[in-house]
Structure 1
């Protein structure tokens, strides 16, 4: 009986360790930045968008302050993000971004700070747009995926 209990305990602890995915957060931050900025390029495709979305949980929460303040995780989080980003896909005629800083916090969060510049035509009102800004994104991790994104402007 003791052998069965010990074996069960060993299996449970091994499965718990297997579920706890540990990734190199600095490497992930660079991958995230690469995939995210690819979705903003003038020639961005749905494939670029899907490669970015693959880094997110299905129920990802997203805040883009001060415009979107609710970062609640919902079952449709990734689907909602896909819909919103598809609407703007290809809207830029020029896009450049430079990664300025990467900060990691144990295995639970990443902050990336970057500068970007974009020109294009807004898909809703067909008005020209141009902006340059410094952004910071705080990414809350769940295993090897982003569970919550919070975007801030400097």
Structure 2
């Protein structure tokens, strides 16, 4: 009888843990949608905060070759908010297409996408226009992104 009770408890607790497991494929699509919303011409702090809600407070971020240190720091999200706010609305036009989603066990996702942007750089007021294929590797901690590594093709 003790074994039956123990088996039943283990079965239901295992089922409960599986039910709470994050669907990483869906998460990747949701992340991509919220991330690209921050790049659109009409993006506001509302879109920015929706995107940032997916990240840990100590998010680590690299964007090679521009930002090479992906160390997780206590003010990681605050730093990203500051940097992204500076560029908010810099694009007159922005388009992005999700090309691939790769899921690695239950702790990492890679998304590959192509984007096109046109606008004015907010720092030097020079016109910018680019099209590129990117890959972001997202390392997760629970249901939040803890490290972002961006690569250009």
2 CA distance for matches of 1:67 and 1:150? 11
1:97 aligns with 2:118: no
2 CA distance for matches of 1:91 and 1:33? 19
Note the C-alpha offset of 1:98.
Answer: 0.2
1:140 is aligned to 139
2:124 is aligned to 125
2 CA distance for matches of 1:102 and 1:59? 24
Note the C-alpha offset of 1:22.
Answer: 1.9
What do the CA deviations read for 1:80-108 (whole angstroms, capped 9, x no partner)? 00000000000000000000000000110
**Helix, strand or coil for the counterpart of 2:25?**
helix
**Helix, strand or coil for the counterpart of 2:96?**
strand
1 CA distance for matches of 2:39 and 2:82? 15
For normalisation by structure 1, the TM-score amounts to 0.87
2 CA distance for matches of 1:141 and 1:105? 10
State how many pairs are aligned. Answer: 138
1:14-25 superposed matches below 5 A: 22-25=21-24
**Helix, strand or coil for the counterpart of 1:23?**
coil
2:4 is aligned to none
1:67 aligns with 2:60: no
1:111 is aligned to 110
2 CA distance for matches of 1:120 and 1:110? 30
**Helix, strand or coil for the counterpart of 2:84?**
helix
2 CA distance for matches of 1:60 and 1:22? 21
